Protein backbone atom coordinates (compact mmCIF):
# COMPACT_ATOMS: atom_id res chain seq x y z
CA UNK A 1 0.00 0.00 0.00
CA UNK A 2 1.64 3.20 -1.13
CA UNK A 3 1.49 6.54 0.62
CA UNK A 4 -0.57 8.02 -2.21
CA UNK A 5 -3.48 5.72 -1.30
CA UNK A 6 -6.22 7.46 0.65
CA UNK A 7 -6.17 7.04 4.41
CA UNK A 8 -9.55 5.30 4.47
CA UNK A 9 -8.47 2.79 1.85
CA UNK A 10 -5.14 2.33 3.57
CA UNK A 11 -6.70 1.62 6.93
CA UNK A 12 -9.20 -0.93 5.66
CA UNK A 13 -6.79 -2.63 3.30
CA UNK A 14 -3.79 -3.00 5.56
CA UNK A 15 -5.93 -4.19 8.40
CA UNK A 16 -7.12 -6.93 6.06
CA UNK A 17 -3.60 -8.28 6.44
CA UNK A 18 -4.22 -8.94 10.12
CA UNK A 19 -2.08 -6.07 11.43
CA UNK A 20 0.11 -3.22 10.19
CA UNK A 21 3.70 -3.16 9.29
CA UNK A 22 6.68 -0.26 9.48
CA UNK A 23 9.09 1.04 6.94
CA UNK A 24 11.38 3.09 9.17
CA UNK A 25 12.18 1.22 12.38
CA UNK A 26 14.81 -1.52 12.45
CA UNK A 27 14.69 -4.79 14.46
CA UNK A 28 15.65 -4.23 18.08
CA UNK A 29 17.31 -6.56 20.57
CA UNK A 30 15.55 -9.78 21.53
CA UNK A 31 13.06 -9.23 24.32
CA UNK A 32 9.55 -10.27 25.23
CA UNK A 33 7.16 -7.37 25.04
CA UNK A 34 6.06 -6.13 28.46
CA UNK A 35 2.64 -7.21 29.63
CA UNK A 36 1.20 -3.71 29.82
CA UNK A 37 -2.54 -3.46 29.90
CA UNK A 38 -5.38 -1.12 30.61
CA UNK A 39 -8.11 -1.83 33.14
CA UNK A 40 -10.54 -2.63 30.32
CA UNK A 41 -8.52 -4.09 27.41
CA UNK A 42 -11.42 -5.75 25.64
CA UNK A 43 -13.53 -3.91 23.11
CA UNK A 44 -17.27 -4.50 23.07
CA UNK A 45 -16.90 -6.37 19.79
CA UNK A 46 -14.21 -8.65 21.21
CA UNK A 47 -16.58 -9.48 24.03
CA UNK A 48 -19.28 -10.19 21.44
CA UNK A 49 -16.98 -12.63 19.65
CA UNK A 50 -16.31 -14.44 22.92
CA UNK A 51 -20.03 -14.60 23.55
CA UNK A 52 -20.58 -16.13 20.10
CA UNK A 53 -17.76 -18.68 20.16
CA UNK A 54 -17.59 -19.55 23.87
CA UNK A 55 -21.29 -19.36 24.73
CA UNK A 56 -20.82 -16.61 27.32
CA UNK A 57 -22.88 -13.64 28.37
CA UNK A 58 -21.22 -10.23 28.07
CA UNK A 59 -20.74 -10.13 31.83
CA UNK A 60 -19.34 -13.65 31.72
CA UNK A 61 -16.82 -12.69 29.02
CA UNK A 62 -15.68 -9.65 31.02
CA UNK A 63 -15.33 -11.74 34.18
CA UNK A 64 -13.40 -14.44 32.31
CA UNK A 65 -10.89 -12.00 30.87
CA UNK A 66 -10.32 -10.51 34.31
CA UNK A 67 -9.87 -13.94 35.90
CA UNK A 68 -7.50 -15.07 33.15
CA UNK A 69 -5.39 -11.96 33.60
CA UNK A 70 -5.07 -12.77 37.29
CA UNK A 71 -4.27 -16.43 36.53
CA UNK A 72 -1.50 -15.41 34.14
CA UNK A 73 0.15 -13.36 36.88
CA UNK A 74 -0.35 -16.10 39.50
CA UNK A 75 1.18 -18.75 37.22
CA UNK A 76 4.55 -17.00 37.14
CA UNK A 77 4.67 -16.67 40.94
CA UNK A 78 3.47 -20.23 41.52
CA UNK A 79 6.10 -21.70 39.19
CA UNK A 80 8.82 -19.96 41.18
CA UNK A 81 7.31 -21.09 44.49
CA UNK A 82 7.15 -24.73 43.35
CA UNK A 83 10.74 -24.78 42.12
CA UNK A 84 11.88 -28.24 40.92
CA UNK A 85 8.63 -29.74 42.22
CA UNK A 86 6.62 -27.84 39.58
CA UNK A 87 4.46 -30.22 37.55
CA UNK A 88 2.66 -27.77 35.24
CA UNK A 89 -0.53 -25.72 35.54
CA UNK A 90 -3.95 -25.17 33.97
CA UNK A 91 -6.80 -22.69 34.21
CA UNK A 92 -10.35 -23.84 34.89
CA UNK A 93 -12.93 -21.52 33.35
CA UNK A 94 -15.75 -22.94 35.46
CA UNK A 95 -14.18 -22.06 38.80
CA UNK A 96 -12.01 -19.22 37.53
CA UNK A 97 -8.97 -20.68 39.26
CA UNK A 98 -5.48 -21.76 38.29
CA UNK A 99 -4.35 -25.21 39.42
CA UNK A 100 -0.65 -25.91 39.85
CA UNK A 101 0.68 -29.47 40.03
CA UNK A 102 3.54 -30.22 42.45
CA UNK A 103 5.42 -33.42 43.17
CA UNK A 104 6.22 -32.61 46.81
CA UNK A 105 3.69 -31.82 49.51
CA UNK A 106 6.28 -29.65 51.24
CA UNK A 107 5.90 -27.05 48.46
CA UNK A 108 2.09 -26.95 48.53
CA UNK A 109 1.67 -24.16 51.06
CA UNK A 110 4.08 -21.85 49.26
CA UNK A 111 2.21 -22.41 46.00
CA UNK A 112 -1.19 -21.87 47.63
CA UNK A 113 0.09 -18.60 49.03
CA UNK A 114 0.35 -17.26 45.46
CA UNK A 115 -3.40 -17.77 44.98
CA UNK A 116 -3.25 -21.06 43.07
CA UNK A 117 -5.00 -24.35 43.82
CA UNK A 118 -2.58 -27.26 44.33
CA UNK A 119 -2.65 -30.84 43.08
CA UNK A 120 -0.05 -33.45 44.06
CA UNK A 121 1.27 -35.50 41.12
CA UNK A 122 3.90 -38.15 40.47
CA UNK A 123 5.93 -36.56 37.67
CA UNK A 124 7.48 -33.09 37.53
CA UNK A 125 7.23 -30.88 34.46
CA UNK A 126 10.94 -31.46 33.90
CA UNK A 127 10.47 -35.25 33.85
CA UNK A 128 7.54 -34.99 31.45
CA UNK A 129 9.43 -32.58 29.18
CA UNK A 130 12.34 -35.01 29.10
CA UNK A 131 10.00 -37.84 28.05
CA UNK A 132 8.50 -35.66 25.34
CA UNK A 133 11.94 -34.75 23.99
CA UNK A 134 12.72 -38.44 23.67
CA UNK A 135 9.51 -38.91 21.68
CA UNK A 136 10.43 -35.89 19.53
CA UNK A 137 13.48 -37.83 18.39
CA UNK A 138 11.37 -40.71 17.04
CA UNK A 139 10.31 -40.82 13.36
CA UNK A 140 6.54 -40.39 13.43
CA UNK A 141 4.21 -42.01 10.89
CA UNK A 142 1.41 -40.05 9.23
CA UNK A 143 -1.17 -41.70 11.49
CA UNK A 144 0.25 -39.89 14.53
CA UNK A 145 -1.09 -36.34 14.67
CA UNK A 146 0.76 -34.75 17.58
CA UNK A 147 1.99 -35.17 21.15
CA UNK A 148 2.29 -32.87 24.14
CA UNK A 149 2.74 -32.78 27.90
CA UNK A 150 -0.64 -32.66 29.65
CA UNK A 151 -0.11 -31.37 33.21
CA UNK A 152 -3.67 -32.27 34.25
CA UNK A 153 -3.18 -35.92 33.20
CA UNK A 154 0.48 -35.78 34.38
CA UNK A 155 1.45 -37.66 31.24
CA UNK A 156 2.56 -37.14 27.65
CA UNK A 157 -0.54 -37.33 25.45
CA UNK A 158 -0.13 -38.79 21.95
CA UNK A 159 -2.94 -38.00 19.51
CA UNK A 160 -3.51 -40.73 16.92
CA UNK A 161 -5.70 -40.24 13.84
CA UNK A 162 -8.71 -42.49 14.43
CA UNK A 163 -8.60 -44.14 11.01
CA UNK A 164 -4.95 -45.17 11.56
CA UNK A 165 -5.03 -46.28 15.18
CA UNK A 166 -4.45 -49.94 14.24
CA UNK A 167 -1.72 -49.34 11.64
CA UNK A 168 1.44 -51.29 12.34
CA UNK A 169 3.69 -48.24 12.11
CA UNK A 170 1.47 -46.34 14.56
CA UNK A 171 1.55 -49.22 17.02
CA UNK A 172 5.33 -49.44 16.72
CA UNK A 173 5.65 -45.69 17.37
CA UNK A 174 3.46 -45.93 20.48
CA UNK A 175 5.50 -48.86 21.82
CA UNK A 176 8.68 -46.80 21.56
CA UNK A 177 6.96 -43.70 22.95
CA UNK A 178 5.85 -45.57 26.07
CA UNK A 179 9.45 -46.56 26.70
CA UNK A 180 10.30 -42.87 27.02
CA UNK A 181 8.00 -42.23 29.98
CA UNK A 182 4.34 -41.95 31.06
CA UNK A 183 2.21 -41.86 27.91
CA UNK A 184 -1.52 -41.90 27.25
CA UNK A 185 -3.11 -42.18 23.80
CA UNK A 186 -6.09 -40.23 22.52
CA UNK A 187 -7.82 -40.26 19.15
CA UNK A 188 -8.21 -37.28 16.82
CA UNK A 189 -10.60 -37.28 13.83
CA UNK A 190 -8.11 -35.94 11.27
CA UNK A 191 -4.43 -35.32 10.61
CA UNK A 192 -3.08 -31.78 11.06
CA UNK A 193 -2.35 -29.64 8.01
CA UNK A 194 -1.02 -26.15 7.44
CA UNK A 195 -3.42 -23.35 6.49
CA UNK A 196 -1.68 -21.67 3.58
CA UNK A 197 -3.80 -21.19 0.45
CA UNK A 198 -3.40 -20.67 -3.27
CA UNK A 199 -3.85 -17.13 -4.53
CA UNK A 200 -7.36 -15.75 -4.41
CA UNK A 201 -8.08 -12.11 -5.12
CA UNK A 202 -8.00 -9.27 -2.68
CA UNK A 203 -6.80 -10.51 0.71
CA UNK A 204 -3.73 -10.22 2.96
CA UNK A 205 -0.26 -10.92 1.74
CA UNK A 206 0.99 -12.98 -1.17
CA UNK A 207 4.25 -14.69 -1.96
CA UNK A 208 4.42 -16.73 -5.15
CA UNK A 209 1.03 -18.43 -5.47
CA UNK A 210 0.46 -18.56 -1.71
CA UNK A 211 -1.81 -16.35 0.38
CA UNK A 212 -1.24 -16.11 4.13
CA UNK A 213 -2.03 -13.71 6.95
CA UNK A 214 0.09 -11.29 8.96
CA UNK A 215 0.56 -12.20 12.60
CA UNK A 216 1.84 -9.23 14.60
CA UNK A 217 3.70 -6.04 13.84
CA UNK A 218 7.26 -5.82 15.10
CA UNK A 219 9.58 -2.85 14.81
CA UNK A 220 10.78 -3.23 11.25
CA UNK A 221 8.15 -5.59 9.87
CA UNK A 222 5.80 -8.38 10.92
CA UNK A 223 5.92 -12.01 12.06
CA UNK A 224 4.05 -14.84 10.39
CA UNK A 225 4.22 -18.58 9.67
CA UNK A 226 7.39 -20.13 8.26
CA UNK A 227 5.59 -22.43 5.83
CA UNK A 228 4.26 -19.37 4.00
CA UNK A 229 7.60 -18.45 2.42
CA UNK A 230 11.34 -19.09 2.32
CA UNK A 231 14.11 -16.57 3.14
CA UNK A 232 14.41 -13.73 0.57
CA UNK A 233 11.01 -14.53 -1.01
CA UNK A 234 9.21 -11.33 -2.06
CA UNK A 235 5.99 -10.36 -0.28
CA UNK A 236 3.14 -8.38 -1.84
CA UNK A 237 0.17 -6.76 -0.15
CA UNK A 238 -3.56 -6.89 -0.77
CA UNK A 239 -3.15 -4.57 -3.79
CA UNK A 240 -0.15 -6.55 -5.12
CA UNK A 241 2.23 -3.68 -4.33
CA UNK A 242 5.62 -4.73 -2.97
CA UNK A 243 5.84 -4.86 0.84
CA UNK A 244 9.21 -6.49 1.62
CA UNK A 245 10.71 -9.96 1.79
CA UNK A 246 11.15 -12.86 4.18
CA UNK A 247 14.20 -12.07 6.32
CA UNK A 248 14.07 -15.35 8.19
CA UNK A 249 11.93 -18.46 7.92
CA UNK A 250 11.92 -21.91 9.53
CA UNK A 251 9.69 -24.88 8.63
CA UNK A 252 9.42 -27.72 9.56
CA UNK A 253 11.02 -28.06 13.00
CA UNK A 254 9.57 -24.63 13.67
CA UNK A 255 6.85 -22.68 11.89
CA UNK A 256 7.81 -19.03 12.13
CA UNK A 257 9.13 -16.25 9.94
CA UNK A 258 9.48 -12.50 9.79
CA UNK A 259 9.11 -10.09 6.89
CA UNK A 260 10.70 -6.65 6.68
CA UNK A 261 8.54 -3.77 5.56
CA UNK A 262 9.19 -0.82 3.28
CA UNK A 263 7.93 0.78 0.07
CA UNK A 264 5.42 2.98 1.88
CA UNK A 265 4.05 0.34 4.25
CA UNK A 266 4.26 0.88 8.02
CA UNK A 267 3.37 -0.85 11.30
CA UNK A 268 0.87 -0.29 14.07
CA UNK A 269 0.01 -2.53 17.06
CA UNK A 270 -3.36 -3.71 15.81
CA UNK A 271 -5.09 -7.04 15.18
CA UNK A 272 -7.87 -6.81 12.61
CA UNK A 273 -11.47 -7.42 13.64
CA UNK A 274 -12.65 -7.62 10.03
CA UNK A 275 -15.65 -5.40 10.67
CA UNK A 276 -17.20 -8.17 12.73
CA UNK A 277 -15.42 -7.00 15.88
CA UNK A 278 -13.50 -3.84 16.62
CA UNK A 279 -9.81 -3.87 15.77
CA UNK A 280 -7.85 -4.93 18.86
CA UNK A 281 -4.80 -3.10 20.22
CA UNK A 282 -1.76 -5.19 21.16
CA UNK A 283 -0.24 -4.19 24.50
CA UNK A 284 2.17 -7.04 25.25
CA UNK A 285 2.87 -10.74 24.93
CA UNK A 286 2.21 -12.31 28.34
CA UNK A 287 1.49 -16.00 27.72
CA UNK A 288 -1.99 -17.17 28.70
CA UNK A 289 -2.29 -20.45 30.66
CA UNK A 290 -3.89 -23.66 29.46
CA UNK A 291 -7.66 -23.25 29.71
CA UNK A 292 -7.64 -19.51 29.01
CA UNK A 293 -9.67 -17.96 26.20
CA UNK A 294 -7.93 -16.97 22.98
CA UNK A 295 -9.08 -15.43 19.69
CA UNK A 296 -7.67 -15.65 16.17
CA UNK A 297 -7.72 -13.25 13.22
CA UNK A 298 -7.08 -14.54 9.70
CA UNK A 299 -7.71 -13.55 6.11
CA UNK A 300 -10.07 -16.44 5.26
CA UNK A 301 -12.31 -17.01 8.27
CA UNK A 302 -11.70 -13.66 9.97
CA UNK A 303 -12.30 -13.63 13.75
CA UNK A 304 -12.94 -16.70 15.92
CA UNK A 305 -12.40 -17.56 19.59
CA UNK A 306 -11.81 -20.65 21.70
CA UNK A 307 -9.55 -21.86 24.52
CA UNK A 308 -5.93 -22.96 24.98
CA UNK A 309 -5.89 -26.77 25.07
CA UNK A 310 -2.18 -27.61 25.40
CA UNK A 311 1.30 -26.14 25.19
CA UNK A 312 4.66 -27.39 23.95
CA UNK A 313 2.98 -29.82 21.58
CA UNK A 314 4.82 -31.49 18.71
CA UNK A 315 2.68 -31.50 15.55
CA UNK A 316 3.36 -34.09 12.86
CA UNK A 317 2.58 -32.41 9.52
CA UNK A 318 3.13 -34.23 6.24
CA UNK A 319 6.15 -31.95 5.65
CA UNK A 320 7.70 -32.89 9.01
CA UNK A 321 7.28 -32.35 12.75
CA UNK A 322 7.04 -28.88 14.30
CA UNK A 323 7.88 -28.45 17.99
CA UNK A 324 6.79 -26.22 20.89
CA UNK A 325 3.36 -25.43 19.48
CA UNK A 326 0.26 -24.32 21.39
CA UNK A 327 -3.00 -26.16 20.63
CA UNK A 328 -6.37 -24.39 20.78
CA UNK A 329 -10.03 -25.12 20.11
CA UNK A 330 -10.22 -22.20 17.64
CA UNK A 331 -11.12 -23.13 14.06
CA UNK A 332 -9.16 -22.04 10.96
CA UNK A 333 -9.02 -22.67 7.21
CA UNK A 334 -6.54 -22.32 4.32
CA UNK A 335 -5.29 -18.73 4.03
CA UNK A 336 -5.44 -18.13 7.80
CA UNK A 337 -1.83 -19.31 8.20
CA UNK A 338 0.42 -16.80 9.91
CA UNK A 339 -2.50 -14.86 11.40
CA UNK A 340 -2.80 -13.50 14.93
CA UNK A 341 -3.67 -15.38 18.10
CA UNK A 342 -4.45 -12.96 20.93
CA UNK A 343 -5.77 -13.29 24.50
CA UNK A 344 -7.29 -10.06 25.74
CA UNK A 345 -4.73 -7.52 24.57
CA UNK A 346 -1.74 -9.90 24.79
CA UNK A 347 -0.19 -11.40 21.65
CA UNK A 348 0.05 -15.21 21.84
CA UNK A 349 1.31 -16.56 18.52
CA UNK A 350 0.92 -17.01 14.77
CA UNK A 351 -1.41 -19.55 13.18
CA UNK A 352 0.35 -22.67 11.92
CA UNK A 353 -2.19 -25.38 11.07
CA UNK A 354 -4.80 -27.74 12.42
CA UNK A 355 -7.68 -29.95 11.37
CA UNK A 356 -11.34 -29.27 10.64
CA UNK A 357 -12.88 -25.97 9.53
CA UNK A 358 -15.04 -23.13 10.80
CA UNK A 359 -18.25 -24.81 9.66
CA UNK A 360 -17.98 -28.07 11.56
CA UNK A 361 -15.25 -27.06 14.06
CA UNK A 362 -11.74 -28.32 14.68
CA UNK A 363 -8.46 -27.52 16.44
CA UNK A 364 -5.64 -25.16 15.49
CA UNK A 365 -2.02 -24.78 16.58
CA UNK A 366 0.00 -21.59 16.84
CA UNK A 367 3.71 -20.91 17.19
CA UNK A 368 4.25 -18.81 20.36
CA UNK A 369 5.15 -15.23 19.50
CA UNK A 370 7.79 -14.79 22.21
CA UNK A 371 9.85 -17.60 20.70
CA UNK A 372 9.79 -15.82 17.35
CA UNK A 373 10.79 -12.48 18.87
CA UNK A 374 13.73 -14.04 20.68
CA UNK A 375 14.84 -16.13 17.71
CA UNK A 376 15.18 -13.15 15.38
CA UNK A 377 15.95 -10.40 17.90
CA UNK A 378 12.69 -8.57 17.23
CA UNK A 379 10.62 -6.25 19.40
CA UNK A 380 6.84 -6.44 19.36
CA UNK A 381 5.11 -3.23 18.33
CA UNK A 382 2.76 -2.43 21.24
CA UNK A 383 0.22 0.27 21.99
Q: Active-site residues: which are they?
A: 227, 255, 337
Strands of 97-102's sheet in order across: 86-92, 97-102, 117-120
d(CA 170, CA 181): 17
Burial of 16 (0-12, 13-18, 19+ CB in 10 A): buried
21 contacts 28 by C-beta, under 8 angstroms: no
Closest CA to 159 of 354, 8, 377, 383: 354
With a CB cutoff of 8 Å and minimum separation 6, the contacts of 273 are 43, 45, 46, 279, 280, 297, 303
206 contacts 213 by C-beta, under 8 angstroms: no
196 contacts 210 by C-beta, under 8 angstroms: yes
Give the chain's length.
383
Burial of 359 (0-12, 13-18, 19+ CB in 10 A): exposed
* CB neighbours of residue 252 within 10 Å: 17
DSSP state string for 30-90: --PPP----S----HHHHHHHHHHH---HHHHHHHHHHHHHHHHHHHHHHHHHGGGEEEEE
Q: Is the peptide bond prior to 112 cis by the omega test (within 30 degrees of 0)?
A: no
d(CA 328, CA 292): 10
* Backbone Cα Rg of the chain: 20
Amino acid sequence: MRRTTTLRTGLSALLLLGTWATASALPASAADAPARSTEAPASSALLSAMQRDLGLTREGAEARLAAEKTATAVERKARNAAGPAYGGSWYDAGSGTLTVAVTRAAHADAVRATGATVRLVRYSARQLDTAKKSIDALPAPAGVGSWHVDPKANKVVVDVVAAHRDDNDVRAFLTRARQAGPVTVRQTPAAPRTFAAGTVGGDPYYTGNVRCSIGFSVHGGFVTAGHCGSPSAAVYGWDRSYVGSFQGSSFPGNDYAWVNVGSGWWTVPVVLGWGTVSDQLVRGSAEAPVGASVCRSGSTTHWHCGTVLAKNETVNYSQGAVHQMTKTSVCAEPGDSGGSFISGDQAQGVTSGGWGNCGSGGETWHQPVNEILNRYGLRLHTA
